[in-house]
């Protein structure tokens, strides 16, 4: 059974507070984008795993953790043949791993005939990764809590998007570890959504609390943002914990010139769009 595991961008991300359990409460507008990994899982007599990059199948692999969680929930010893085609870069803030895990959860739910509800799948996925509930949903939404609270939003604009990632990635745990809740930015997510609904200028409301940690972890992120703004683009921000920067064109610019310029400087540059479902 084959599924596409779509990436996402955080149009804005507010780390609201730190919880007593060590996790953080978030509020973010998240949008699925048309870049994806391909996940192929079948029933098998023994476990088989293949990936086009060096990604071991063990507890460090989110697909492994998701499949094991699904098997445990169903009290199943079933083995699977797993084939992964990775196109979304690692440590990029694009939810490549979480989307892969969400796909694995959906596929195993079907292969084992579990018929779990969306809420049941979210309950399993949210214990493994904060972005997994959104990736299970994969439609524009305001996401809150530790990722488990999803409020659908009406956002269907077909904006071109350019993704730019430096060679260095950012470890999500390290980014949160360095974060100072009192000193980082806290974007107004509700006001941003109002602007989006009314098709109004929103660049001044873009923000990401985790930008606080960027200078120590990956200074190139700010270099990319500065160079993009010097080229005349305002709708630019780092997604998630990074290190990918996204640029959204709302004025009809197809971003081709900017894409050509960025390709001369950075390892990963990809022109894409919001995902239409």
Q: Is 215 a catalytic residue?
A: no
Hey, what are 127's tokens? 């214990």
C-alpha pair distances (Å), 166 with each of 65, 89, 132, 238: 28, 11, 24, 11
Catalytic residue among 8, 27, 165, 271: 8
Kindly list the distances between the CA atom of residue 157 and the CA atoms of 40, 63, 274, 275, 276, in Å, as whole numbers in the listed order. Answer: 31, 31, 8, 10, 9
Could you say which DSSP state residue 47 is in?
Answer: -
Distance CA 63, CA 128 (A): 10
Buried b (16+ CB within 10 A) or exposed e, 177-190: eebeeeebeebebe
Residue whose pair of structure tokens reads 């990059």 in the numeric block: 53
Is 8 considered catalytic here? yes
145: left (phi > 0), else alpha (psi -120 to 50), else beta?
A: left
Spatial CA neighbour of 31 closest among 223, 167, 206, 198: 206
Is residue 118 helix, strand or coil? helix
Active-site position among 27, 131, 165, 271: 131
- Angle, CA of 15, 17 and 21, to the nearest 5°: 115
Q: Which residues are catalytic?
A: 8, 131
């Amino acid at each position: 059974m084959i599924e596409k595991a779509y990436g996402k961008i955080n149009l804005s991300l507010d780390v609201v507070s730190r919880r007593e359990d060590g996790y953080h409460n978030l509020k973010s507008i998240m949008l699925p984008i048309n870049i994806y990994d391909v996940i192929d899982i079948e029933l098998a007599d023994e476990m088989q795993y293949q990936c086009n990059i060096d990604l071991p199948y063990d507890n460090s692999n989110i697909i492994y953790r998701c499949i094991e969680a699904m098997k445990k929930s169903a009290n199943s010893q079933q083995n699977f043949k797993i084939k992964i085609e990775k196109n979304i870069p690692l440590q990029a803030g694009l939810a490549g791993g979480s989307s892969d895990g969400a796909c694995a959860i959906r596929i195993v739910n079907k292969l084992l005939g579990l018929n779990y509800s969306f809420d049941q799948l979210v309950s399993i996925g949210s214990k493994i990764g904060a972005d997994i509930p959104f990736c299970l949903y994969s439609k524009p939404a305001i996401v809150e809590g530790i990722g488990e609270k999803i409020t659908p939003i009406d956002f269907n604009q077909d904006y071109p998007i350019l993704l730019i990632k430096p060679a260095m990635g950012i470890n999500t745990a390290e980014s949160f570890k360095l974060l100072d809740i009192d000193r980082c930015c806290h974007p107004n997510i509700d006001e941003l959504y109002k602007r989006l609904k009314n098709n109004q200028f929103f660049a001044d409301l873009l923000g990401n609390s985790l930008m606080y940690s960027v200078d120590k972890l990956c200074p190139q992120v700010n270099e990319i943002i500065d160079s993009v703004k010097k080229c005349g683009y305002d709708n630019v921000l780092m997604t998630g914990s990074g290190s990918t920067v996204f640029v959204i064109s709302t004025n009809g610019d197809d971003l081709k010139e900017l894409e050509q310029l960025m390709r001369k400087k950075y390892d990963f540059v990809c022109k894409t769009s919001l995902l239409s479902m």
